[in-house]
Amino acid sequence: MSSFTLIAAALADTNGIGFQNDLPWRLPNELRYFQRVTTWLGRRDGSAYPSQEQQQQQKENGKDSAEDAPWNAVIMGRKTWDSMPDGFRPLKNRINIVLTSDQALIPSIER
């Protein structure tokens, strides 16, 4: 059986996903939850993430760095990217994908 990935977005009553470069609502601990969920690489059947046995073998072979592990991807629009403080861009330990139709902005996003 192949794996299944679900992508979800929360919408305000007006179908908006943002307001004035911020979320349209306040949820306690939302950023910590977002970080935990988007950086978690737990082992599931069919997952690309190595099993504990494979992780131990990697350690023994000197391949125990973050570069050797798979990462989750975070997909965002350009305005979300712009709304994040410089010190938080790109989001660490995740592949950051920024969607924009303005090709002139690409050099300012690429790192």
Closest by CA position to 95, among listed 79, 111, 108: 111
Q: Which residues pair with 96 in a beta bridge?
A: 74
What's this model's pTM, rounded to 2 decimal places? 0.61
90 prior amide bond cis, ω within 30: yes
pLDDT in tens, 9-39: 777 788 777 778 777 777 778 778 888 888 8
Active-site residues, by number, are 23, 30
The per-residue pLDDT for range 48-80, each reduced to its tens digit, is: 556 667 667 777 776 655 555 667 889 988 888
| Chain position carrying tokens 């073998």 | 57
